[in-house]
Chain A
Amino acid sequence: MPVTTLAGREVHVDDEGFMTDPTEWDRELAVVLAEAIGIQLTAEHWKVIEFLRADFETQGETATSRRVQTVGGFPVKDQFELFPKKPAKKMAYIAGLPKPRGCV
């Protein structure tokens, strides 16, 4: 499992760069992760990230776009505006979670 250095510390990631240990994540790291993929986090982004983190705690897997809409209350359209083109993967990446495994 590769280890990479982000925000001045060692972080475990998979081959693509998604974090593999959610406990290594914190808000400071999220800012760095977001910047690495060209996103400046705003209050709106944070609400989504916080939902993903909380949902992962209870579900044990990353919420899909559909779930972020139906359970989190963030419409798919807004997700595409906040995390352009590939919202599900980008949200997961910034939240320090694995890519969603669900199809929908």
Chain B
Amino acid sequence: MNTPIVPSFDDDASSGRKLAIICSKGNLDMAYPGLILANAALGEGVETHLFFTFWGFDMIAKKRMDDLKFSPTGNTAMHMPIGDLRVPQALAPVPGMQAVATKMLKKQIADLGVPEVPDFLDQIVAAGGHLWGCRMSADMNKLTEADLRDDVEGIISASDFIEMTEGAQLLFI
């Protein structure tokens, strides 16, 4: 009898792999790449740390995390989901445009079964992901741990983060 073909899940091989993602953007569209990659890494058994800094800090701030926005202003790549229709940059800043664009993007994301940002972070933590707030961002925003999601493990300095993620692969978003 032949040896059965069994997938190699490399459980041991992945045990040493670490991924660190620095989330520095607070726009709704730029919140997702880090979350999607973190979720994928965790699903592959990779130890994953997310460091929220500058505008990315909004993703973990209780007061702001439900209210991230998407704007076509300054985004020359933005076009309608189907076809290549673009919003002319001169019209991008008109009142109401940001609200419409945000609503549309949220719907598209929801249609794909992808959760909203706070929900997504819940899932990442449930999958074993680690969330860290940036000390300087906290100080600039005059926020403390009490203002952040309860599952943020700490507000740490840039050097703490670098030290903690020794040997990790690193993504800056």
Contacts and interface: CB of A to CB of B under 8 A. Distances in A.
A17 interface: yes
Interface in B100-140: 112-115, 120, 123, 126-128
B40 interface: yes
Interface string B27-48: 0000000001001100111000
B6 to A, nearest CB: 5
- If over half of A's interface residues share one DSSP class (helix, strand or loop), that class is named, otherwise mixed; here it is mixed
- In the complex, which range does the number of interface residues on chain A fall in? 20 to 34
Interface of A: 2, 4-6, 13, 15-18, 36-38, 64-67, 69-70, 75-77, 80, 84-90, 93, 102-104
Is the contact region of chain B dominated by helix, strand, or loop, or is it mixed?
A: loop
Nearest to A64: B113
Contact of B43 (A6, A15, A86): A86
B81 interface: no
Contacts of A89: 7, 9, 43
Contacts, number: 75
A86 B123 contact: no
A84 B5 contact: no
B125 to A, nearest CB: 9
B4 interface: yes
Interface of B: 1-2, 4-9, 11, 14, 36, 39-40, 43-45, 112-115, 120, 123, 126-128
B14 to A, nearest CB: 7
Contacts of B113: 64, 66-67, 70, 102, 104
A51 B164 CA distance: 39
Contacts of A64: 113
Given A66-B114, A75-B126, A77-B127, A37 B14 contact: no
